[in-house]
Structure formats: structure tokens, C-alpha cells
Structure 1
Amino acid sequence: MPARREIRIDFIRGLALLAIFVGHAGFDFSDAFQQARGFSDASEIFVLLAGVSAALAYWRPSGFDPEAASAKTLRRALRLYLVHLAMVAALLLSVALPPIASRPAIVAELGLDTFGAAPVRNAVEIVLLSFMPGDLDILPLYVFLIVATPFFLALHERSRRLLLALSGGLALAFGALKLDFVNDAMPAGGWYFDPLSWQFVFVIGLCIGVGLKRGRDPLAYRPWLFRLAATFVLTAIPANLLLHFVFTEISSSHLVHALVSKTFVGPLRLANALALLYVLWNLSAVKRLTADGALAPVFAAGAASLPVFVFGLALSTLCQMLMASEVAIPLAAQACLAVGGCLAQLVLATHLGERKLKRRNASVPLAASLPQG
């Protein structure tokens, strides 16, 4: 009998997708929205849940098969890689259009102001994942993580503690040394999400997923831990807002930057993400939700995360272009765009869910529905 789908993953991931859209759209309130979620944001939750989902998809309690898992993960990674290249191509075509090409501020905002100086070299770098404009290094991060998944799972088979120790040590070393992969499209010159730091977030999710697959819940409710996590999450919100908007000199110090670094997953950021996931996982209101209730579109978005994420990223890029243009967008209109973008993603997710259900029903052999004589 197949294991019951853990729908909390879909719900939390669906919420994260909507939050990623609003936070990346470049609205006047996008920065405040990002900082109002504490030291972490939706990205950490999304990567944690990606690790959980990878374990549920590729690990088997009956025995882990590295070769079978490698074949599956390579197919998945190739699909993500091709989607990424298609998104970069679409972005390049869009900025070549006269209305956008004539707006240097928009082109610079997307990290494409230097592309024309060496288009052939940059095209090769795009293929090699060393030239990624805008916010387009998230899918390459997943390519890296999915390709590495069989190795992570094989090491988990030997020792979960060893996997966590090696993964955490690697992340700590790269964060301390500030070593990152090259991204010539962005001013910092590196990936916004350093893969060798973010792999630790993914590995933690992977260990949670293996636990779920074994029939136990590593995120099981414990009153003292829930109170501690909730206190941390609620305290982090005003603390981060004060650091970001009031005590800006303190927030720019080396120590605070290291603690909350997004590129290298600072320890405060990781702790906040884990606490937030634990709270959401154990909220009574979330536990009572059903995938066919009023919030069904949010569940559908989490279940169809790749197409919804790509669509949301396209929408947020369009919003960035609009906000970087010379047209003044009233705050009320920006709020309408934010709500409209979220609704558009939910409509797409609902459509994809219905289409998947129809395909599943159509694939049932006709003979199974006929009386047997």
C-alpha cells in the first residue's frame, strides 16, 4: 500500500512560492515584506522542503539503490537545467525588445547591462552556469543539489550523523572563507545562493524526509520545543526589522552580516528557517487542513512547484521591469499587482492539478471498470 502523501509539505511550499513572488517583484513594500519574516525567508523553507521531497522520491526503506537513484536524479536535473536555459533565453529576448532595451535602468536591474560587450563569451558562460542574470540562479542551485542527492543518500545509509557533520562542516568552511561559484552577470561576481553552503539546508531536509519515509516524524510536536521555536520566530521579526531599517550600521557589521548572510546561509538564518518550519508543521490549524478545502489552490501550487515557480518568477521579473521603468506606480496599484500575481499562480496551479487528475483517471485500464464474467 503506497504511503499517504504528506500534504503539509504541499501547503507550506505553496505559501513559500507566493511569498517568493511578492518578495522578488520589486514593489515598494517587497523589501519590508522580506524582512518582516525574521532572519530567514521563503527560500530556506523551499530548499528544506526540496530536501524532504527528494528523500521521499528517491529513498526506499527496502534498500537504497544508488544506480537507480542516480538515473532518476540526472533526468530531473537535466529537466531543471533545460528549464533554466529557456528562462534565460526568454529574459534575453525580452530585454532586446525596444521598450525595454531603451531603458538602461531596467537592463541593469536584471544584470544584463554587460551582456552586449561580450555576447559570445557570455552565451558560453550561460551554458556553463557562470552567467546568470536577475534572480535566475535558484534552478541551477537545484540542479547541483539534485545531482548530489544519490551521494547524500548513500552517505546517509552509512551514518546520518556523519552526513550532517560533513555537510555542516563544508557549509561552515565555505561561509567563513566566502568561497562561491562564479556568476559574471551580477556585481558581486558570485552565485546569490552558494551551492556548497546551501547544500546543508537541503541535507537537513533530506534527513527529515528519510525519517518520514521510515514512518517516524523528526518534526513531531514537543510542547517545550514548539514554545521555544515559536518564541524565536516571533522575536526574530521585530529584531530583523530593527536591524534592517533602524540600526543599519550594526546590520552592516561583519559579525551580523555573517550571522544572517543569505548567500552563505548564516546560522541565525538557518535557525530561523528550522524554527519556522517546525512551527508551521505543528500548528493545529495546519494539521486540520485538507487538500480539497478552501485552500486547495495553495496545496495545488505546492504539488506543482516547478511550473508554478517558473511562472511566478516570470511574473516577478515583469514586475521588476515595471517598477524600474519611469512610470510611477501608485502603492494601491502595486498591491493589486501583488494580489493579482498570487491569484494567477493559484489559478495555474489549480488548472495543472485538474489536468493531472484527468490524466490519472484516463490512465486507469478500461477493463478494470468493467464487470468480470
Structure 2
Amino acid sequence: MKRYWEIDALRGLMLVLMTFTHLPTRFTDPLGQPFGFVSAAEGFVLLSAFVAGLVYTRISDRQGVDAMRRAFWRRALKVYLAQAATLLFLFTVITRVGLRIDQPAVKNLLAFYLTNPIEGFGYSLLLVYEPALLDILPMYIFFMLMSPWVLAFALRHGWTVVMVASAALWGLAQFEFSEWLYGLAVQYLHLPVPFREMGAFNAFAWQFLWFAGLWLGASRHAPDAEPIRFPKWLVALAVGAALYGLWWRHHGINGQAPFGGDEAMNLLFDKWQLGPLRIVNLVVLGIVTVHFGPSLMRRLPRLHALEAMGSASLPVFCAHLVAVLLVLAFYGDSQTVRPWWGDVLLLVVVFAWLYGVAQATLWWDGRRRSRAAATAMPARSTARPDPPAAPAARR
């Protein structure tokens, strides 16, 4: 199946930006939300959903809905195993190092687990307890488990009902729907995990972004799909809004908090709730990217390092978590504990590690495909040919 190198490069870029954001260095704040009040997480989720819509719609068309469901579930299982492995690394290596050197950053990160190790371990495997930094993959698993049913319904009945329901659920999420469900879980299931330990991302809000990307990807599968084009006036409006958001983010007096200490207004741009103005900022950036991206890609050299990381996005994402957790364990969460050259050296080492993981993953995948092809070839060559047809009887 054809890979879209442009999508891989963009996903690789999102992983690079995530690494800059999560590693505590002097580059964290300047490169956090670099294009406005939108982070790399939104871009990564949207691109992943787009690819999922494109790939799994193709599987549904060629092999049927049941094959599409099985493919989704296999991917969800793979992501779950990656999450479980990362949790095991956190609860063993990072916990031991953090306690050995009395690292406050690790103690804060693992506060619930250190107080309730059995409940913390068990509920983390159930994807209920989600320590900071390890709360993205559980949300992704939730989306992957929901997607086969949603995609099958949409392919049969259209996307209107799906997106209206998704938008309604996003709206409920803005008014403490998650907190209400949590209260029911505590009341009837006696859930011991505090709400703040269940991940920063509100999955009921972020599902809107996922299903929007799934819809876009599915719509691109059709062989007669026309390129997405926008009216000139809309492009001009999007460019103006994107530039204003960029200026506001980097030259405003409040940095990444658009309205300073006004918490009510900041909710409009809130990352964890996926606030409405944040969606607007993402949409205008998307319009600009779709309109100018193809011509820009034709002029730029292909960025093979970003493509490699985007192609191996799951292992690279987990590798970036390993690097961030190790830095937190040894250095803490201070952004100024090292000199500037120490930060540069640290970033060089981390990105070399991520690129190495990407290359190793692609090499292993290529070797596995070669083995599968080599195994299949003898089976075809040793199959007995059909006997020649008997000559027709003469009349």
C-alpha cells in the first residue's frame, strides 16, 4: 500500500515538537505551541486519525467490514502493549532511580502510585490511572476501539449523524461531563483513583478531533476524490487569523496563556478540554497547510529523518517518553539546571536516539516483510499445477 511521505514527515515533525515540549530545557517554552495556541498533540492526533480513515476504509472496501474491525483491534492491542511496557519502565527503573536520589519530580509524577502501589499498578493496566506524560496512548486506544463501529456506520449511512453526535459530545465535555461520570464511578464502583490522576486529556472532547480526522481520511479514499480547495477569501481570512495567532502567542505579554490570569477566558483556548477558540486556531492552520502545503513540499527537499520517525511513530513516541522520564529522574523538571550548551548536547543525544529507534523499527519491519514474502513464494512454487484440459472430443 502506498505511503504518503508528506504525512509521515508531518507526523515526524509533531514528534519532534512533542520532544521539545516535554524535555525540560530552555527550548521548552519557546517551542511549545510554536504556531499559535495549538500544540503538536492536536496535529499528531488529527494526522493519525486521517491515516486511519484512509487505511481502514481501504481495508473495508477490499476485505470487508469484519477485516477492518480486526485490523483496528490488532492496532489497539499493539498500542496497549506499548503503553504497558512504558508503564513497567516507569514503575521499575524510573521509580527506583527517583527514590534513590530523592528526586521531587519523580515523586510528584508518581504520587498516587507511591501511596497506593497495588491500586496504581492495577488501574494503570486498566487505563484508568494515567500518570502525566503517559495519558496520550490510553486516549488513542479508546479511539481505536470506537473507530471500527463508527467507521462502519459512517460508510453505510454517511458522516452527518456521526459528526453531529461527536460535536454534541464535545459540547458536553466543556460542561464537566467527565467529572459527572467520574462522580458516578466513585459512587457506584467505589473507584479509588483521584480524578486528577486519570489523565489531563479530556477524551470526550478530543474524540471530536479524532473523528473529524477519520472522516477526512475516509473521504480521501474514494478514487474520484477531488483535491480539497478553499475559496480565496477563506484562505486570505485563514492566513490573517493564523498570523495573528502566531503573533499573539510569541509577542503577547502572557506567553502560552492567551489571557494571562483570567482562567475563565483561558478555557476558550484550553488544551485539555480542546476549547472552541483552540479548534478555530487549528482549523485556520489546517486551511493554510492544505492550501500552501503541496506547492511548498514540491520546492523543499524531502526530510528523510522526519519521514522515518513518522513512519515508526509508535516506537518513536514511546522512545521519546523513555528519554523524557530519564531526564526527569536524573535532572528534575527545572528548565535551567544545565547551561545552554548542555541543553543542546542533551537534545542532540535524544534526537539521535529517536532517529536510531526509527531506523531500527523500519529495518525490522522490512526484514519481517521479506521473510513473509520468502515463506509465501515456495508455497506457491510447489503447488501442483492443474492438469491440462483434455482435448475436446471430435464429433
Please give the root-mean-square deviation of Cα atoms over the aligned residues, in Å.
3.1
TM-aligned CA deviation for residue 259 of structure 1:
1.1
Say if 2:197 is the partner of 1:199. Answer: no
Does 1:209 pair with 2:207? no
**CA distance in structure 2 between the partners assigned to 1:241 and 1:62 by the alignment:** 46
Q: Measured at CA, do residues 142 and 246 of structure 1 come closer, stay the same or move farther in structure 2, by a change above 3 Å?
A: closer
Aligned to 1:58: 56
Alpha carbons 2:97, 2:330 under 8 Å: kept = no
- Note the 1:7-22 alignment, pairs <5 A: 7-22=5-20
For 2:389, the equivalent position in structure 1 comes to none
TM-score, normalising length from structure 1? 0.86
Structure possessing the higher radius of gyration over alpha carbons: 2
Separation in structure 1 between the aligned mates of residue 114 and residue 303 of structure 2, nearest angstrom: 45
* Contact map agreement 1:51 1:202 (CA 8 A) in 2: yes
1:245 equivalenced with 2:254 (yes/no): yes
Report 1:108-257 matches (<5 A).
108-109=107-108, 111-157=109-155, 158-177=157-176, 179=178, 188-215=196-223, 216=225, 219-220=228-229, 223-241=232-250, 245=254, 250-257=259-266
What is the deviation of 1:58? Answer: 1.3
Distance 1:364 1:71, change over 3 A: closer
Q: 1:367 to 1:266 in 2, by over 3 A?
A: same
Instruction: Tell me, yes or no, if the aligned pair for 2:131 and 2:198 is still in contact at 8 Å.
Output: no
For residue 96 of structure 1, what is the aligned residue in structure 2?
A: 95
Give the CA deviation at 1:222. Answer: 5.1
2:270 and 2:10 map into 1 onto residues whose CA distance is 23
Give distance in 2, aligned partners of 1:230 and 1:364: 48
187 and 62 in structure 1: CA distance in 2 versus 1, 3 angstrom threshold:
closer
Asked if the contact 2:38/2:282 (under 8 Å) is kept, the reply is yes
Matches of 2:238 and 2:117, distance apart in 1 = 49
Alpha-carbon shift at residue 175 of structure 1 (Å): 1.6
What TM-score do you get using the length of structure 2 for normalisation?
Answer: 0.81
How many angstroms does 1:11 deviate by? Answer: 1.1
| Distance (Å, rounded) in 2 between the aligned partners of 1:29 and 1:59 | 40
For residues 308 and 248 of structure 1, the distance between their equivalents in structure 2, rounded to whole angstroms, comes to 29
Residue by residue over 1:157-185, the C-alpha shift from the partner in whole angstroms, topping out at 9 and shown as x without a partner, is 21212211110110111122252576987
Deviations 1:61-106 (A, max 9, x none): 7489443322222221122112111111101112332564432412
Q: Which moved more, 1:212-221 or 1:201-210?
A: 212-221
Instruction: Note if contact 2:14-2:44 (Cα within 8 Å) is conserved in structure 1.
Output: yes
- Check if 1:276 corresponds to 2:285: yes
Query: Where does the alignment leave 5 or more consecutive residues of structure 1 unmatched?
Result: none
- Provide, for residues 98-148 of structure 1, a one-character-per-residue CA deviation record: whole Å limited to 9, x for no partner: 564432412234x21332322112222112222222210111011000000
Q: Which amino acid aligns with 1:127?
A: L
Give the C-alpha shift of residue 213 in structure 1: 0.4
Aligned in 2, Cα 1:362/1:196: closer, same or farther, shift over 3 Å? same
Query: Against the structure 1 CA distance between its residues 113 and 191, is the aligned structure 2 distance closer, same or farther, given a 3 Å change threshold?
Result: closer
Please tell me whether residue 82 in structure 1 is matched to residue 99 in structure 2: no
Contact 1:301 / 1:346 at 8 angstroms: preserved in 2? yes
Cα contact 1:164–1:203 (8 A) shared by 2: yes
User: Against the structure 1 CA distance between its residues 362 and 51, is the aligned structure 2 distance closer, same or farther, given a 3 Å change threshold?
Assistant: same
Q: Structure 2: any 5+ residue segments left out of the alignment? A: 183-190, 382-395
1:333 corresponds in structure 2 to 342
Task: Give the aligned length.
Answer: 364
